[in-house]
Amino acid sequence: MSKKLYIAFFIVLIVLAIISFYILRNRDNATLMEINSTKLIVSGDLDKEYKIGNLNRLYNSEVQFNGNIIKTVDLKTVFDSIGITAENNYKIQISGEEKVIETKLMNIENYFLTENEENFTLFDSSGNLLLENIGNIYLVNLHEDWDIGLNIIDPETNIINLMPSDFSISNYKISSFKSNSVAISNEEDIFQEIQYDKKKIIDLNEFLEFPQIRTTVVDHNGEKVTYEDGFIEIAGNVFNLIDKNGRIVLEDLKGIIVNTPVYNINDVYLDSMHYLKKDEQVLIIIINGLGYHQYVNAYNNGDIPFLQTQTIANRSLTAYEPTTENALKEMFNYENENLFNQMKSINNESIYISNFKYIENENLKYIKVEDGDNNYFYDDDTFLKIEDIIPNNNSLIVSNFTDYEKNALAFGPNSDEALKALKDLDNYISQISDMWPGNIIITSDSGIHETEDGEGASGQFRFEDLFVPYIIIEK
């Protein structure tokens, strides 16, 4: 290679080095801390874990220790860099090699970290050494929060909300699981080396009898498995279901249902196909927001006189996360088959009547419900649309009624406003039943629970939201 080529190659290396330096220099601290993470992890009752490293970029103070000046950064600055703000409803647990310090999150500006050779040390403002070889910082939510953690429920009770911080420093055991086996040889012998993974296992029997009949484990994406055996692992700020060999069965769990109902929202698909294959018409009425517990209250209190004349509803498990879109997806899809596509394949048109288009399917004819009397409620208008469509003799009609949900969210699921909407809807269903010659399936997308301020809310892993009524009126 010529001398000029050597020089050119050397210049290119220098330019690349300078560019790389400026790119890294200008990255924000949070990104750098994620890329160059060491061993310190902020975990606990958070949506995700954070890894902390490269503290030298954040150093903003000094402490004197054993006659030496040590550069440090206060914990508030560290937390600010990863987007965690000090809140009254949290405390922190800082875990060192031999002890743990616990304090309110509001006090973190009085604690100082330094990093040395990938080890972290904690001082107070007077320079007293508090902890060495810090491995974890846990945030502990002081309030019950069913939006995070692992929720365990049965059809009538929210049994317990387990937070990751419940197992930060206690309430777990370490179990070892064989992960690998390798043959190692030296000059004279060959011997086997067995490797094990250590996992933090929690014993649910400390909180309830576990397992029970039909125990269902659900992850954050709504995937469900029936619990047969294995363990619940706590890994950082998530819970996993692992088998007896330590392999993950289901990751990032959201909840566990014990004594799971036999009925599932998929029954809408199965029962509809059952009738349609016999050339029987099906009309599906979805009452948005009506949980099974509220249906039973209304049934027992005489708020739904027509439905009281029918066999009491079965309790059905809806989709997680309990939203209208998720529920309708599970209602009309089963084992890679779609109800409306099935209808199209046999040249039958499916009709969808609703004030909002919750279902997207090219084989489903959508009829939009307009607010005819401009009162921001739609059940009366939906009823009139169904009344107009019935003479067309369609094989399958799907409808959403939304007034109960609107009032239940605004005023609470037990409010007079919500029950008035439910009673009006009961009357509409009675009239539809008189007009419709086929079978009627009545269910809900999800339930609604009452908040502390008396309003309604939905979307959580709790019995009020996840169990809905399921009724069939056969003709």
Residue 289 has pLDDT above 90, yes or no: yes
Give yes or no: residues 282 and 324 share one domain. yes
**Tokens 């000046």 appear where?**
69
Strand order in the sheet with 263-264: 263-264, 314-317, 467-473, 439-443, 282-287, 396-401, 350-354, 364-368
Give yes or no: residues 318 and 461 share one domain. yes
- Give the up-direction half-sphere exposure of residue 163: CA atoms within 13 A in the CB hemisphere: 20
Give yes or no: residues 426 and 361 share one domain. yes
Which string of DSSP letters, residue by residue, matches 35-71? HT--SEEEEESSSS-EEE--GGGT--EEEEETTEEEE
Which of the given ranges, 46-60, 194-208, 302-316, has the highest pLDDT on average? 302-316
Residue 22 lies in a domain: no
Tally Cβ neighbours within 10 Å of residue 190.
Answer: 8
Last residue of a domain, one of 141, 163, 189: 141
Given pLDDT bands bounded at 50, 70 and 90, which one contains residue 31? very low
Residue 14 lies in a domain: no
Which among 289, 282, 288, 311 has a CA at the least distance from the CA of 299?
Answer: 311
Tell me which of 452 and 316 has the higher pLDDT.
316
Task: Give the pLDDT mean for 149-176.
Answer: 90
Backbone dihedral angles phi then psi of residue 450, each to the nearest 5 degrees: -90, 135
pLDDT above 90 covers a percentage of the chain that reads: 63
Instruction: Name the least confident of 41-45, 240-244, 304-308.
Output: 41-45
Task: Give the pLDDT mean for 212-221.
Answer: 93
**Tokens 């050339």 appear where?**
279
Tell me which of 169 and 390 has the higher pLDDT.
390
Residue 93's H or E segment, with its range, is: strand 90-95
Number of domains in the chain: 3
Residue 21 has pLDDT above 60, yes or no: no
What local confidence, expressed as pLDDT, does residue 343 receive?
A: 93
Task: Give the pLDDT mean for 61-89.
Answer: 87
Give yes or no: residues 453 and 326 share one domain. yes
Residue 127's domain is classified under what CATH number? 3.90.420.10
- Model pTM above 0.85: no
What local confidence, expressed as pLDDT, does residue 192 receive?
A: 72
CB 368 within 8 A of CB 400: no
Residue 10 has pLDDT above 90, yes or no: no
Instruction: Name the least confident of 148-162, 194-208, 260-274, 460-474.
Output: 194-208
Which of the given ranges, 8-22, 60-74, 375-389, has the highest pLDDT on average? 375-389
Residue 15 lies in a domain: no
Angle between helices 324-332 and 267-276 (to 10 degrees): 40
pLDDT digits (tens, 9 = 90+) for 360-372: 999 999 999 999 9
Last residue of a domain, one of 205, 222, 257: 257
Residue 87 lies in a domain: yes
**Tokens 């317990």 appear where?**
160
Given pLDDT bands bounded at 50, 70 and 90, which one contains residue 11? low
Residue 426 has pLDDT above 60, yes or no: yes
Give yes or no: residues 414 and 465 share one domain. yes
Last residue of a domain, one of 141, 175, 193: 141
Give yes or no: residues 406 and 269 share one domain. yes
CB 436 within 8 A of CB 281: yes
Which among 113, 77, 81, 80 has a CA at the least distance from the CA of 94?
Answer: 113
Task: Give the pLDDT mean for 379-398.
Answer: 97
In terms of residue numbers, what domain contains 379? 263-473
Give yes or no: residues 278 and 341 share one domain. yes
What local confidence, expressed as pLDDT, does residue 300 receive?
A: 96
Give yes or no: residues 206 and 118 share one domain. no
Residue 360's domain is classified under what CATH number? 3.40.720.10
Residue 186 has pLDDT above 70, yes or no: no
Given pLDDT bands bounded at 50, 70 and 90, which one contains residue 36? very low
Give yes or no: residues 133 and 210 share one domain. no
Please classify residue 314 by burial: count the beta carbons closer than 10 Å to its beta carbon, then call 0-12 exposed, 13-18 middle and 19+ buried: middle
Residue 143 has pLDDT above 70, yes or no: yes
Given pLDDT bands bounded at 50, 70 and 90, which one contains residue 33? very low
Give yes or no: residues 130 and 167 share one domain. no
> Which are the contacts of 424, defined by CB distance < 8 A and separation ≥ 6?
379, 380, 403
Task: Give the pLDDT mean for 127-139.
Answer: 89
What local confidence, expressed as pLDDT, does residue 144 receive?
A: 81
Which string of DSSP letters, residue by residue, matches 342-389? HHHHTT--EEEEESS-----TTEEEEEPP-TTSSS--HHHHHHHHHHH
Given pLDDT bands bounded at 50, 70 and 90, which one contains residue 24? very low
Residue 37 lies in a domain: yes
Task: Give the pLDDT mean for 290-300.
Answer: 98
Q: Where does residue 236 fall: left (phi above 0), alpha (psi -120 to 50 degrees), or beta otherwise? A: left
Residue 348 has pLDDT above 90, yes or no: no
Residue 3 lies in a domain: no
Give yes or no: residues 355 and 403 share one domain. yes
Give yes or no: residues 325 and 398 share one domain. yes
Quote the CA–CA distance of 151 and 257 in Å, as a whole number: 8
